[in-house]
Every structure is written in structure tokens, then in C-alpha cells.
Structure 1
């Protein structure tokens, strides 16, 4: 059972808190994962009292609760909640916050979750430090930072310098909710708990690897943030490069936090730098235009509220990367993400090479298909292994068949990524949180692309909403027979 602590959530009235954090806390309560001495203090600017906050949380949690809400669990959960109104940019309010915590005699162990805009991370930490709320003389202090960490490599460096004045690295929890997803962790289990895969997991047998994250939604209410960020920063730098690291890293010495993070850093540092002259050969961007998604007509990105009418911010981004180490030399890694696509889907697809001699090619019209391993990350949690087998009958004719494992749990065993991550903060387990050198290495990968795109403000390619992205992205492939794979089924798009 995790130890007692005071969980202070800044930006508690915002979208992330209401749709993810509070439901996650509720489910931890439901599964008896929190000790009685865990308190949850919401920080907001609204003039609410505790009762108003509790009613607001109930309304947010009710539609998200797996298996519905029970009175007993709800009462236990609400007994943990409190609300404190303050201005996060006002230093004096932090002294009042400290007094409020001490007056209630809450646990000295404290976790501060900064569900704030990235420009507010440093001021909030500085004010916490000046109020002596980060000193560990009477208990541990941990700060959780939501993405993005910086805007590029240089801004991430400057942010880290400001944090270093008040926080040790051991106190800093840079959260990436993707790493809390069950299937993301299953990638590691599949790789390192199954000996039969290790001899095949290298350049000798793998043709290429794809990582795709597709969303069937527009930018929505995030337009103000998104138009200054774009798909490369929002998804690839912060999430999908983490998937790349888990798929391609060397086996860690142990599953301890630092051993695991050491291997991810080494992998990201092995990504071949993209030279300015190669940006257009290794990266592609586009914006969604008008179209139809899930049977409904939707506007173009430039027509969304809050978007600059001359914006060239990408809602689709694709990358081709190479990893210059012994295992992966010469193997292309293709990464793509896009909004307003036909379905929500995140998959990791590994395509293997053809056998050196295809004995059965002459006996059939169609060329034999390659083997694939496809990991469904979300919404379907699955592993699919595609093999060639003989068709029933007298003739030797082959067909593609598959071994499928669906790994999504039932109501009692399924969980949201934030549940595990919130719990890990209390436990002090940093395995699924990012170290600064890991963040720095990820920015180093994408910075040359972002710099090139920032100077190209006259034109950006478009793709119809409801399609699987721009045709031009196919130019990234090394060979004509390579193609984007969006489905768990064998057909490429």
C-alpha cells in the first residue's frame, strides 16, 4: 500500500484534471490502492468552497467510472478532497497554501501535480521553493510536470536550469501518460520475456518498423495551444519517440528505473541526426482540409476557432529515422501522427524481410506476403503475428494467417494510464517518467525539422479530413513495396 501523502493538483479545474486525474483518483479509491492518509487538494482560481468542488468532481467522474459509481466508494473518495483558491503567479498565495496544509495537519509527504501551461512550470516551482514547500526535511516532495517540457532543445535547457535551483532530479517527475498504457508496457514484456523473439529483433531479419498514432478528432478546444505547437511537438517528440525507444532499445540490466531509462537514452542518442539538406527526404507535414469524419462533415483546420487563418501548423507529421547502432544499422523507422483521420488508432507494426529464397513463388500468381508483428496500443490492446501457411487442398498454395491475442482486461482489471502514474509518484517509482537527458535527446531528434519548417511559411500540404493522411508522405519509404499500415488486418493503405 502506498504511503500517506498530500497530493496537490494545480490547474485542478482544467480539462486534464476533470477528464483524467480525478477519475483516475476515483478508480484508485475503488480498488483500495490509496491509504487512508492520502489527501487530494485541488488548486484553482475559481471562487469555490469545498462542497462546490466535490459536486463538480462527482459530475466529472460519473460518466468516466468503470462499472458505475457506488455510494460507499464515492463517500470515501470525497472525504479526501479539498479545494484551495489561489493565483499561481502570486508568491504570497503559496505561503497561504502552506498554512492551509499545516492547519489541516495533512501528511508531510507532498506531491505537486502541475496541470498547467508549460510557461507556468518554472514560476510555480520557484514560488513553491521560495515558500519552502519543496524542502524535504520533514518528508518527501515530488513535482509532476505535464508535457511539453520546453518548446525546443534550448527552451528545455533553460527551463531545466530554472527548476534546478529548487528541485533535484529525483524530485522531478516528467509525465508521459503513454508510458502508463498497459500495451506499451507489454512491448517490453513481449521483447524481454520471450526468448524466441530476441534472435530476430535486428537488422538481419526486420525490414522496417512503423509507429502510427491516428485520431478521428480535430484540435477542438486546444486550438490556442495547438497552433503554436503542431503534431511534431505534440505527439512525436513527447510520445511516439518513447514508443520507438521501447521497441528498439537494448535489454536493460534490470527493470529498475535508472537501468530502464539508461537504455532509452542510449537509444535516442543513437538516432542518426537529420541534416538540414535531408529534412524533406526524412520528414513530411500537412494540415487537414474539409471532409467527412464518422459520417459528419467537418471544417478545415484553418476554419477552426482560435486558429490563425494563415497558419502553416501541421496537424499531420511523419518521420523516417535511422538508428546508428549494431542492432539497427540500415533499418528505417517510420513514425506518423495525424488528426481528423478515419479512426482513433495507435499501432506499432514490425515488418520482417522475405526469406532469402521463396520456394513457393512459382506455384501461385500472388507474391507471398511478408511476416508482420502488429501491436495494438489503443483502442484495441492486442498482439497480432502474421505468418504464411498452406491453404487446405491438394495443391501447395499459400495464404496469410495470423495468431491473435486480445489483451484488454475486463472492468475489474482494466485501468487508465494515469492511475498507474499517479500511484507511481506516491511510491517514488520513476520507471515510467522521463529523465532530463531523455527529454533533451528527443528534442535533438526533431529540432532540425522544426527549424526547417519554421522558415517555410508560404505553403503546407493538405489532406481531406476522414482520410489516412497526405499522399505525399509515401515518398518517405525506402522501397516501393513499403506502405503505411493503419490496420490490424494485413492490408496496407
Structure 2
């Protein structure tokens, strides 16, 4: 795909997302010489700045993020792309002046991408105002709008937002970003599955016992108290990121790797997930909240001690979910998903547990209970593919141990690419394969909505777990077999 030059307009350019992810992402694309010459980046903000002030700010937080100086030649080239447009999102003059500027100045490409790095409550206002000044019209070039999660608060609000977007945009113009899908290791899941034919015959209910998908964080909620208390772990991580990972692991091979082929297969997985009625919520889902504890040797307070959190809050900071996929490949194989704050370590991983081997062959030996094979996909911070196998220990007796085959994902001299770099570039290419189609969003909400509605009626009590632990031991009840357990490490037990 060719990368078109474009005018990138960032609403919310002075916020944390732009500061920590978007501007550094653009700068690294400049370093890699990936930005077409005519690309310009317009920051929209309320602060009384001009281009010079904005450029100085950009330089400051690029240095802060990298912890080192910048290549002055590269930054000079990059800063020439930067513009600052002062205005309030809720004032028509802001959009009229923006339209006049980009339409009359020859340096601005007619291809335009609008990144809404703002509160979801402001999406409709910005899009409606852009439409009023014809900035969403594709008469002279393409126009694309990028929106961040949360995409709705529940199924009904997601549908309502979609209706408002449809008044001014086609589905092809909407890029719903899930930065998790931009991570190199997540994309490697697709390559691992579909480019290695030796695993395909085993990737089904006949050989796989269960699959776990974990996103654990050792940090708390930081300064996001007001947002987080209204969202919780299920909405913040599980409904979006983890269900997306599930679709990549469980999907059938797509007809092709183009956007629609890929997303069609992901939607089929979500549609095949067995609905969880409210009467079965306790058997399929568990929630808890962190209490005070110790993380990395430092004592930390509980969730109720955080700023802007009501003392009687029952918002979950840990959510675990068991889902079953009713299709030919996966029927009877449970998928366990969990996410939590203030856990023992920060890591994201996919753990695939294979069935136990038959033991008749070893019945007259000391080998009585071999560990099952695992395939482990580390997403962050360790990016790896690891296969655990049983081997015989050296010596005269028939004893076994677990060893692992490791596939290095990145060579030592290869740079780690931030997810946003890939996604910003994909917008310019028009590649929507790593962005969400609305039916993906809709069916993900259908899965978790009954759980959230049931939890909303249980306001008197929520289980707790000490900060620095691996979460509540009660979540073990979700497992269907005695030998199933949460996999917390990417290393074998004997290492």
C-alpha cells in the first residue's frame, strides 16, 4: 500500500495521549523516513500558543520521553511539519478558521486525517462542526476520522454514538483505534498461526485443553480516578483489548489479509461466543478491587484510598471472565480472560494449554503425572514465543522435566516500535485491518453487557485482593477442571 501525504489534525493535542504517544509516534516515523514530504501535523488546542511555542513544547516532551537529546537535523525537518491552531472545540469559529486555513494554504494536503484525542463525550460535537464547514467532504481528497476507546459505555450508548457518526461519515471514513492491535507481538500472533503449518492441525478442541489471556498491571489508576470509577476493569480492558486478542487466537484463516477478510473472521468468533445470561454470571465472571498491600517492596494504598474515588465504590479493578465458543473448532474449550490493576507484575500474555498425554506407555515407570505442553505468547514487556515440552532428565532413572523452546521475536539490534507508529501510518495508507469495524464493537458489548448489568445490582459488596498479589484466589472457581490454574509466569515451574 502506498502512503499518501496528508494533513493530520489532532484535537486534544496538548493532552497526555498526544504528548506521550502521538507526537513521539510521528517523530519516530520521521526518523524512519516514513512520512511523505507534504505531510503536515496541525495541533488544535485552547492555549494561547503559536507555532513557535508549540514547537518548543514538542521538543521538550520528546526529550522528556526519550531521556536524551534529539537529532537536530531530523527535528528541524519534523518541526517544519508542525502547525498550531488555537480554538475551543465547542465554538464554530474554531472550525471555520481551520477550514479557511487548510483550504487556502497550498502547503496543506487535501487528504486529511482528524485524530480525536479527546473525551468521547466530545466526539459528536467535533464531527458535526467539521461537517458544517465541509471538512469531511471527500470531493478533493480523502477524509478520515480516528477515535479512541471507550466506544460507548454499554451496547446502547455504542449504538447511539454510531448513529451520530453515521450522519456525517461513512464506515470507511471511521478508524476506531485499539492500540493493543498495533503491538508488534499481537500482529505476530497472526503470523505465528497462519504462516506455520505445523501447528494448524493441533489448533482445535481435539488437542487444546484451555486458553488464557492475561493483561496484568502492577500500577494503580494514577490520576484517572474520575474516569476509572465510572468504567472499571471490564469496560476499560476486557471488553476491548482482551476480546480482540481472543478473536486473533480463535479465528479461522481469513480469505486474505486485507481489512475486510480479517475483520469478517473476527466478527464470526464474537458471534459464536455463547451468551452469558444474568443467572450464570457468577459461574462465568468474577470481579474484585485492590486493597492496600506491597508492590515491588513499596507499601501502597487501596483503591478506596485513591484520589476522586468514593469511599463506598464497588468498581472492579480486577475482572476475570470464562467464555465458550460454540463452533466446530473450539466447542468445549474454555477461554479464560483476566485483567487487573496493582497485581504482582505488569505483563500481557496468551497461554495455550494442551491436553494431557495418555500415560499408559509410562505406567511401569516413575513418570506418573507429566505436565501438559504449553504454547506461551508474551506480548509485553517480554515479547516472545515459547513452547514447553516434556523431556527425560539425564541419568539412569526414567524421570522427566519441562524444558522450553524459545523463539526470539526481535533481534538485539532491532528497535521496538510503538503501536501508535504503525497505526498512524496505517491511516495514511488507508489500511483498516488493525482498526475496529462497528459490528466488532457491537458484538463485544453484547458479550459483557449482561455481566455489567448484573454487577450494577450488586452494590453492597465486592471482593478484595491485596495490592502486589496475583489477584483474588476466589477467581479460581471459574476453572472447569481441578488441574486448571492461572498461569502467572512465562517460565516453566522448574526454572
Corresponding position: 1:59 with 2:36: no
Corresponding position: 1:98 with 2:102: no
Classify 1:114/1:48 alpha carbon distance in 2 versus 1 (closer, same or farther; 3 Å): same
Shift of 1:309: 1.5
Shift of 1:102: 2.5
Q: Deviations over 1:204-251 (max 9, x none)?
A: 000000000000100001111111000000001110000000000000
Which runs of structure 2 are paired with 1:390-405 in the superposition (5 Å)?
390-405=392-407
Shift of 1:308: 1.5
Shift of 1:92: 2.8
In 1: Cα distance, 2:296 partner to 2:456 partner = 33
Corresponding position: 1:148 with 2:150: yes
Q: Which residue of 2 aligns with 1:425?
A: 427
Q: Which residue of 2 aligns with 1:457?
A: 459
- Would the aligned equivalents of 2:247 and 2:269 in 1 still touch at CA under 8 Å? yes
Shift of 1:295: 1.4
Give the secondary-structure state (helix, strand or coil) at the position aligned to 2:402: strand
- Would the aligned equivalents of 1:122 and 1:162 in 2 still touch at CA under 8 Å? yes
Corresponding position: 1:386 with 2:388: yes
Which runs of structure 2 are paired with 1:361-376 in the superposition (5 Å)?
362-364=364-366, 367-376=369-378
Shift of 1:409: 4.5
Q: Which residue of 1 aligns with 2:24?
A: 23
Shift of 1:100: 2.1
- Would the aligned equivalents of 2:367 and 2:400 in 1 still touch at CA under 8 Å? no
Corresponding position: 1:442 with 2:447: no
- Would the aligned equivalents of 1:27 and 1:65 in 2 still touch at CA under 8 Å? no
Which runs of structure 2 are paired with 1:37-436 in the superposition (5 Å)?
37-65=38-66, 69-105=70-106, 106-360=108-362, 362-364=364-366, 367-410=369-412, 412-436=414-438
Q: Deviations over 1:246-269 (max 9, x none)?
A: 000000000011000000000111
In 2: Cα distance, 1:99 partner to 1:454 partner = 48
- Would the aligned equivalents of 2:318 and 2:339 in 1 still touch at CA under 8 Å? yes
Give the secondary-structure state (helix, strand or coil) at the position aligned to 2:314: coil
Give the secondary-structure state (helix, strand or coil) at the position aligned to 1:227: helix
Task: Give 4+ residue runs of structure 1 displaced > 6 Å after superposition.
Answer: none
Shift of 1:42: 0.6
- Would the aligned equivalents of 2:403 and 2:492 in 1 still touch at CA under 8 Å? no
Give the secondary-structure state (helix, strand or coil) at the position aligned to 1:229: helix
In 1: Cα distance, 2:363 partner to 2:8 partner = 63
Classify 1:197/1:134 alpha carbon distance in 2 versus 1 (closer, same or farther; 3 Å): same
In 2: Cα distance, 1:66 partner to 1:369 partner = 44
Give the secondary-structure state (helix, strand or coil) at the position aligned to 1:43: strand
Higher mean C-alpha deviation, range 51-60 or range 137-146: 51-60
Shift of 1:198: 0.6
- Would the aligned equivalents of 1:291 and 1:299 in 2 still touch at CA under 8 Å? yes
Classify 1:151/1:51 alpha carbon distance in 2 versus 1 (closer, same or farther; 3 Å): same
Q: Which residue of 2 aligns with 1:7?
A: 8
Shift of 1:307: 1.1
In 2: Cα distance, 1:211 partner to 1:417 partner = 19
Shift of 1:357: 3.4
In 2: Cα distance, 1:491 partner to 1:448 partner = 37
In 2: Cα distance, 1:157 partner to 1:300 partner = 35
Q: Which runs of 5+ in 1 are unaligned?
A: none
- Would the aligned equivalents of 1:383 and 1:404 in 2 still touch at CA under 8 Å? yes
- Would the aligned equivalents of 2:359 and 2:368 in 1 still touch at CA under 8 Å? no
Classify 1:68/1:487 alpha carbon distance in 2 versus 1 (closer, same or farther; 3 Å): farther
In 2: Cα distance, 1:399 partner to 1:358 partner = 18
In 2: Cα distance, 1:436 partner to 1:447 partner = 16
Shift of 1:406: 2.4
- TM-score, normalised on structure 1? 0.97
Higher mean C-alpha deviation, range 451-460 or range 363-372: 363-372
Q: Which residue of 1 aligns with 2:484?
A: 482
Higher mean C-alpha deviation, range 215-224 or range 319-328: 215-224
Q: Which runs of 5+ in 2 are unaligned?
A: none
Shift of 1:67: 8.0
In 2: Cα distance, 1:454 partner to 1:97 partner = 43
Shift of 1:96: 1.2
- TM-score, normalised on structure 2? 0.97
In 2: Cα distance, 1:156 partner to 1:61 partner = 35
Classify 1:358/1:41 alpha carbon distance in 2 versus 1 (closer, same or farther; 3 Å): farther
In 1: Cα distance, 2:360 partner to 2:60 partner = 60
Shift of 1:90: 1.6
In 2: Cα distance, 1:121 partner to 1:28 partner = 27
